[in-house]
Structure formats: C-alpha cells, structure tokens
Structure 1
Amino acid sequence: MTTILSLPDEVLAPILNASVAHDCAYRAALLALVCRRFHRIITPLLYRDIHIKCNGACEAHRDAPGTKLLHDTFRSNQSLRQHCHSLAVEFRSDHSDSTELLDGERTAPNVPHMAVDFLKWLSNTAELRIRFVSFYGDDKWDETFRTSTPSDLAVFYNQASKSLTRLKLLQISGHENVPLHLPALFTSLECLDSSASLRTLDLTGVSQIGTEQDWKLMRARAGTAPFTELKLRHFTQGASALEALVMWPAGLEAFHFSMPMSDYYSGDFALTRYDLGIMKTILSHQKASLSHINIHELLSQPGVLGFDLSGFHRLHTLCMSRDLTGVDTLAVANLVAPNLRTFRWDTGLEDQQCCRGLEGFAETEEDWIRAFAESSVERKTFLQQIQISFSPDSWFLGDIDKDYQYPWDRMDRLAEEFKPHGINVVYNSPNTTKEEFLRIKEECLKFRASLGDIIW
C-alpha cells in the first residue's frame, strides 16, 4: 500500500507546498510538526514570507513580541535566513502617551536596530514591502507619528539598497498623515545602479515636499536606475517631479498611475491634477522602451485629445478607465499605437461614494468601443483583444428610458462584429440576468414615474 511518506521528495514537496497558502503560516507550522521529513520540507515555507511590525509604545504590547521572537530566531539560527523570499515591514504610529509595560519594562520602538538587522540577514529577499500606518485620536494626527525619524528611515533604505542584491520588487506605501517625501527617498535609494536586480518600484502617497533643485538633481541621474516598472498611486507632486522620476530608469517598460478620490474621502488634502496631454509629454522620455501603460484616474476632465500614442512603437498593452477617456469618439484613434495588442477599458469607479449602475454600459460606451476597434482595423494594427471591465451594482444609478438595452447584449454585439477582424472582445460575465435586468428596469421606471406625481 502506497502512503504519502513513500513518495519521493520531488513529488511530496509540491503537494505540501500546494497545501499551504502564502498567508497561512499556522497551517504550515502544524504540518511541520507531523514528522521530521515534513519538518524538513515545510521549514522553508515557514520563513518564506516574513511580516514584521515596528511599533510605537501603544502597539508594542501586541506586536513587538512577534517581531522580537523572529529577530531572536534569525540571530541564533543563521541557516533559516536563506528561506525568506518576501519581507514586509510595517511602521506603526504611537498616538498616545501610553505607559503600558511589556515584561515589566517600558517598550520602545524597534525601528533602528531590528528592522535594519532583518535587511542585513535576509539577503535572499526578492520582494520588500514597506508600509506606514498612522492612527490618531484626541485630535492628534501626523505629529504623533514617532515610530521613526528621517535619519532612521534613511539608514533603513540605504541598508535595503546595499544588502538586498536580489531584490526585484520594492513597494513603499505611505499614508495621507505619513506621506513619502520623494527627495529623501531618492537620496536614500540613489545607490541603485544598472547592475542591480530591481525590476519594480511601487510608491503610494508621495507628498508635495520638494523643490525644483531636487528635481534637477534627480534628472542628473536620468538613465541610471535598474527598475523597468514604475507604479505610482496618490502621487501628489507636480509634473517636474514626475518627469524626473520617469526619467530615472535606464529603460522603463511598464508605467502605472492612479489618483483615485477614494482614499481622500472627507480629507483636507492637497491634490495635484494631471491631464493626459501632460502624461504623454512625460512618458515620451521612455517611449522607446514602454510596452505597458496603465492610467486609471487623474482627477482631470475626460478626453484623449492630447494623448497621441502613435510614436510609442513598443507599446503592446494599454489600460485606461472609462472616466478618463470619456466617450467622445473624436480623438479615439490617438490611443491606437502601431503595435498595440491589448486594450483594457475599465468602467469601474474607485470611490467610496460612487458606484457604476446597470446603465454604465449604454449606447455611448458601445459606440466608443466600436470607434476604437474601427480605428485599429483602419490602421491595420496588430490589436488582438479588447477587454471591457464591467461589474455594475444590480440597480440603475443614472437616467434610463424604456428603450434601454441589456448591457451584455451590447458587448455580445461588439464581439460578433469584430471577430472577423481578428479582434477578440472579452468582458465580465453578467452579474445580472436579462430577466432580472428587465424586472429591475420596470421597477425603476415605475418608481421614477411615481416621483413625478409628487407635489412638493
């Protein structure tokens, strides 16, 4: 009789790996206790994804022990350090004058030594994620963020650049109360050179701190950074800073940018508005290498009039939101780059107060996609697929009339129309059946008609 332990390692290891999710260390720990062989195979999984929290005193009684135990483990058993592939470091704020004690002693932030030690020891790390989390109370905001000083973070960033020679992803996520200051970040990371392994730089929450002199210094380093993918979210700096950052890598292949309102709901934060014309000018510095562009929200008026991609000959994937492009077909041909293969059109809204209803894919949206596809056919480009992201709420949030059509019928029609041209139009499966749609539409029309009979 064949048992699981009779399987060779090359068969057993994939089975055990598949049984342990990346975020389920507890299950991995249980499997490691089954037997010595399981322990040997599972141990690398236990230390594959490391998450540490560097806290202020008010959080230390919950999170510092776990970080300290890991620190002690890696210090005493160096053989375990090689297994870490992904390291996440969370800097949490201290928003109170807490006097809670841990083991009879006042706890202190563990940023200066523990976090840096992890970077020194876990040299096989390929993904580093740094996140700042701020809590507030009693009308205290960013002035209460005391987990680290600028000099602490400079040491931390510099250590990451020096120690993590196999790093492929660097993600730094700020917060509206704890933003990222681009000049300081650039100074700390400028030791990156073209021989490094870094491929993706992902920044969230860049502040408005910085001067033209800072951007001049950054532009002087143009073409020296190794990363090929740049992701920016809530980038509140101006065009000069963005241009300097885009020029930094030697050959930028992928660019992602989004300035959604959702995270700024009810906040008094300064926002920087861009438009697609400015974006095109900035991205032109990398048009010889850019193959993927994803721009979701810019807080700007819709329209692609200034976004002519005809000179981006390596561009094969373009992702944009419906609210960014608008539905005016006048300049839609600007988006049809010569070698574009895939176009993704996202009709969703990333906002706490706004949603997309069943009316979100109407005649204007159908006509816009048709105009885009026709422009590609006319220019004899290599477009292979149009992806439409449409997952509405099961209700009407905008104006409709009795002739309003089932949205997925419109998308089916587009798919059939352009299939002979080699263009595959794909979209989300219906989350509302046609029968439900017709019922909801009738109810909605009756309800809105009844409102017209009310005398105020």
Structure 2
Amino acid sequence: MVAPTTPVIKLHRVLQRTPSLRQHCRCLSIHISDILAARSPHHFDIVNDFARWLTRVRCLSVHGGFEEKFNNPHTWALIRNLVVNMREVEHATISREWFGLYLGPIMRNIEFPKLRELNIHGISHSKKEITILDPKKHRTASFTALSISDYEESPGSTALLIQWPTTLVHFEFGSFYNNPHIMDLPMFQSWLFIHRETLKNINIGYLSRAGSKRLFDATFFPNLESLQLSRWQMERPLQFTAEDANVLGPKVKLFGWDFSIYDQHNEGWDDFGENEESWISELGKAAVARQSSLKTIAIYFGPDHWGAGKKESYPWDRMDSVRDGIMRPNGMDLVYNRPCISREEWLAERRGGTKAESISLSDLNMQEAPESASADESESESDTLVMAEPGFYGRDIRWYFAPVQRPWNISELRG
C-alpha cells in the first residue's frame, strides 16, 4: 500500500466514490516498503484515508515501514491514525521488513481499546533509548494473547512487555536467532508469574545457549493447560530428573516438545535418539505416578530425509514405542507431525532401493482441522491447543474470528 500500487489506487477511488462500501472491511493488511522508492510522505496519503474510512476493521496487520532512514516517522503517524479511527480492532500484527521496529514505540502507540491478540515480529534492540513502561500503563493493555518472534530486545525490556497487559491467557515466544542477550526458562517463569492465575497456554522456543537448563515449572500456574518447550533448551546429552516432571502442572493436558531449528538447516535425523526416547518415557511414567491431567504429548520433529538409508534406526519407531508401551495403556496419547519419510521408504533406502521423493517443508506444518471432523475427533482436539502462528494472510475471513488458540489437526499429528 505504500508506495501505492495500481490496484490500491483503484480501490481508493472506488471507496471514495462509494462510501457505503467502507463499513464492510473487517481485515486490513498494510505493507509499507522499506526501500528508497517509498520515501515520499505523499505515498502515505491513500493508506491514511483507509485509516479514516475503514472504521469496522477487526484484524489489522502492518508490515514494514520502520526503517529509520526512510519511513519511520510517517509509519508511526499512520499507526496513531489507525488507533484513533479503528476502535474495533481485536487482532493486531506488527512486523518489520528491514529494521527499526523498536519496543518502546509499540508500547506507547498500540492502544486499541478492544485488542485481544497482539503479534509482534522483528523487534530490534534499540541503542538510542531504554525501554520504559509508563507507570500509568502498567497492567492496562487489553490484549490477553501475546506472540513474539524474531526478537532482539533485552531481558529488562521483555519483563516490561509482559507486565503491560492486564492479564495474559496465551503467551508465545519464538526461538532466538540473532538475540545476544541471556534469557532462559526460569527468567520467563518469573516474568509470567504475575499472570499465573490466568495463563492457559505457553509456548517458548529455544533461547540463550548460556542460560540455565532448568525447565519451566508449571506447578506454579494453576490453570495452565498447554505447555510447549524446545528440546534445545535442555541439557545435552539428555537425562530425565525428578525436577523435569514439574512441566506437568496441575491442569496441563498437553505437553509439546519442539525440535525445530530456526536457522540455516533442519534438525538432524539423529536428534531424536535413545536419550530422547528415555526422557519422554520417564515423563509419561511421571504423569501416571502423579495422576496428572496430562492427556497428550505432541512432538514436533522435522529432519531432512536425505541420507536416511544410512541410519540404523527410524526415530519414529522410538516415539511409537513410548506411545504403545506407556501412554495409551494409561489413557494418554503421543502424537507427532508427519515424518519426512515413511518407514517403508526408509526400509527401501536401507535395501538400496530408489530414494523417496522429498516432502516439502510445508507438509510438516500443522494445519487447521477440517470442518467435517467427527464429534469424537473434535473433542480430542479440544484438549490439544496451541498458540496461533503470527502473520497469516489471505485466509477465509471467518478464521480471524475464531478463538486465539487453535487445535492441531490430529490427522497430521500421527501416533
């Protein structure tokens, strides 16, 4: 939209001629180019008109325009215009294209009165200002779901961000990529403690390598139902301890174990081995011994299949062993995303047969459950909830008004 393309200009003319159409827009996605061609403030004229006209928007996304050399002041002026006029926004996504998206301006300017979900992607670390939360804004923000990814800010700023909303029900923190600061699970546990009575879903990716390897203690969160943690935030080699069982809070029904690596490569074929099988087995046994609320363990594991025929074991056999030996006999289940290669294909490669075709990474993504799911399937899915991924575009509009937490598709999570 900035600089406006020909279709955007045509849309502007239509809305200018026919004001009655403006009330029908519910979702607005704004892309602001961070290249030199978008430096003119006049490029913001049309999108500022949209901000004044489209007052019924509920789902708003602003991507780009934060690069300080070009659009930054104009972008924040636009966002203030959006806040003033779009009073029904419930879901907001703010994401960078290049750099210049800082936490301080977000906490000063994002004040939609009905906001329920805030997704922030691409926070850069500010060298010019220290993030300060106005005492008057402490625990005043209306959103109850917060998702953060590609995040470079400091522990102190992160603590302030978590103190901003009145209550949190859903919290998601994406894996570190370029963040140089030391943060670990005990730190997040202490920051989230002020929301201990309301939190139901927590999803935290891998963090600082130098941080503590202690896991998140869910026993302090009495209403937590879903906890997803990264395997890479744990000791190597992996060994189960009695303290690890504290991921089983009093109401935790779903424990997610994520092996994803947000870097230049996938996780390795051998990353789920004997130690990982033993750890997840001991967690299942602890759930039985404690008579916990645990119903499902969900494992995200997506290695590249090339060279699989040279491997001595099939990792998903280990998962099936835990499922069949411990989980299901005790009324629980273990599920995982679609393997990169089937057992039959792996065996064929082991015998020197034709290599199986590669499955695209998109096949490994969790998809929404089909509307035709049976009642029994829907009931089981209701117990396996996770935070929505940030930055979805081009979906059926009805998706945006569903609850923030979405079920895994059990047909995609095998067991």
Deviation digits for residues 135-172 of structure 1, max 9, x if unmatched?
xxxxxxx67x42x242x233222222222222111101
Unpaired stretches in structure 1, ≥5 consecutive residues: 1-52, 56-62, 99-106, 135-141, 265-269, 444-456
User: Which amino acid in 1 is paired with 2:118?
Assistant: L
Match of 1:187 among 108, 132, 138: 108
2:174 corresponds to which residue? Answer: 258
Quick check: which one's helix share is greater?
1
Tell me, yes or no, if structure 1 residue 224 matches structure 2 residue 140.
Answer: yes
Q: How far apart are the structure 2 equivalents of 1:369 and 1:386?
A: 9
Q: How far apart are the structure 1 equivalents of 2:174 and 2:116?
A: 20
The alpha-carbon deviation at position 184 of structure 1 amounts to 1.9
Give the alignment's TM-score, normalised by structure 2: 0.76
Match of 1:376 among 281, 284, 287: 287
Q: How far apart are the structure 2 equivalents of 1:297 and 1:205?
A: 16
Check 1:306–1:433 CA distance in 2 against 1; reply closer, same or farther (3 A cut): closer
Q: How far apart are the structure 1 equivalents of 2:134 and 2:333?
A: 42
Q: How far apart are the structure 2 equivalents of 1:258 and 1:396?
A: 29
1:38 corresponds to which residue? Answer: none
Deviation digits for residues 251-309 of structure 1, max 9, x if unmatched?
10111111343xx5xxxxx6333111211111112111111101112133586525222
The alpha-carbon deviation at position 229 of structure 1 amounts to 0.6
1:120 corresponds to which residue? Answer: 52
Check 1:95–1:119 CA distance in 2 against 1; reply closer, same or farther (3 A cut): closer
Match of 2:116 among 183, 199, 210: 199
1:163 corresponds to which residue? Answer: 85
Match of 2:61 among 129, 132, 139: 129
The answer on whether the counterparts of 1:305 and 1:334 sit within 8 Å (CA) in structure 2 is: no
Q: How far apart are the structure 1 equivalents of 2:72 and 2:65?
A: 15
- Count of aligned residue pairs for this structure pair: 349
Work out which of the two has the higher radius of gyration on C-alpha atoms and give 1 or 2: 1
Root-mean-square deviation (Å) = 2.8
1:67 corresponds to which residue? Answer: 8
Q: What are the equivalent positions in structure 2 for 1:26-425 lying under 5 Å apart? A: 53-55=1-3, 63-95=4-36, 108-132=40-64, 145-146=69-70, 148-150=71-73, 152-175=74-97, 177-189=98-110, 191-192=111-112, 196-209=113-126, 214-215=131-132, 217-261=133-177, 271-301=180-210, 304-305=213-214, 307-326=216-235, 327-330=238-241, 331-352=243-264, 354-396=265-307, 404-416=312-324, 417-425=326-334
Partner SS, residue 219 of structure 2: coil
Partner SS, residue 92 of structure 1: coil
Q: How far apart are the structure 1 equivalents of 2:280 and 2:134?
A: 40
Q: How far apart are the structure 2 equivalents of 1:247 and 1:214?
A: 13
The answer on whether the counterparts of 1:231 and 1:257 sit within 8 Å (CA) in structure 2 is: yes
Unpaired stretches in structure 2, ≥5 consecutive residues: 353-415
Check 1:328–1:218 CA distance in 2 against 1; reply closer, same or farther (3 A cut): farther
Q: What are the equivalent positions in structure 2 for 1:432-451 lying under 5 Å apart? A: 432-438=341-347, 440=349
Deviation digits for residues 43-83 of structure 1, max 9, x if unmatched?
xxxxxxxxxx202xxxxxxx532222222211211111122
The answer on whether the counterparts of 2:65 and 2:72 sit within 8 Å (CA) in structure 1 is: no
Check 1:188–1:351 CA distance in 2 against 1; reply closer, same or farther (3 A cut): same
The answer on whether the counterparts of 2:155 and 2:182 sit within 8 Å (CA) in structure 1 is: no
The alpha-carbon deviation at position 200 of structure 1 amounts to 0.8
Q: Which structure exhibits the higher relative contact order, with contacts defined as CA atoms closer than 8 Å and separated by 6 or more residues?
A: 2
Check 1:415–1:223 CA distance in 2 against 1; reply closer, same or farther (3 A cut): same
The alpha-carbon deviation at position 369 of structure 1 amounts to 1.1
Deviation digits for residues 333-392 of structure 1, max 9, x if unmatched?
13111110111112222212x222332321111111112222222222111111112232
The share of aligned pairs that are identical, in percent, is 27
Partner SS, residue 89 of structure 1: strand
Check 1:164–1:210 CA distance in 2 against 1; reply closer, same or farther (3 A cut): farther
The answer on whether the counterparts of 2:175 and 2:262 sit within 8 Å (CA) in structure 1 is: no
The answer on whether the counterparts of 1:54 and 1:109 sit within 8 Å (CA) in structure 2 is: no
Q: How far apart are the structure 2 equivalents of 1:361 and 1:249?
A: 38
Give the alignment's TM-score, normalised by structure 1: 0.70
User: Which amino acid in 2 is paired with 1:204?
Assistant: H
